[in-house]
Amino acid sequence: MRISDYLRKETISLNLKATGKEAAIKELGNLICKAKEMKSYEKFLKDVLEREKINTTGIGDGVAIPHARTDAVTGFVIAFGKSEEGVEFNSLDGKKARLLFLMGTPEKAGLDEYLVLLAHLTRLLKEESFRSSLFGAESPAGIINVFKNCEK
């Protein structure tokens, strides 16, 4: 299972405008709201924001991965956004998030796959060279290629 299998050009933003957590989640959500796996965008958004209240998904190093297990989706969905200014995400290291991944998976199915994907993404993002490659990518196709090259 690879992140590159789920990323789509239309679910990638290279210039997030939002500077706040909720606004950034909504902006990313707008990229996946019409995905075939989305049953209820409003519920998905509510579940992600509720999950965020429990504990921040700002993992540090300029990265945030807001996510939720929810019955609002029928399959795994992911959106990616890059922010030049950064988004205040209450990150563990106090830094603004500049690379953001919004993810959702069905609540009752696919938990093992979801945890594997989340752990895989987190491992990749711990590498400075990988984050730099994402920052350097100039197109959605470039973002997908960064993942494909690392996931060979």
Active site positions, annotated: 67
Calculate the dihedral angle through the C-alpha atoms of 120, 14, 56, 45, rounding to the nearest 10 degrees.
-100
In the block, tokens 């210039």 appear at 15
CB atoms within 10 A of CB 111: 12
CB atoms within 10 A of CB 151: 13
Cα–Cα distances in Å, from 89 out to 6, 93, 109, 120, 146? 24, 10, 28, 21, 24
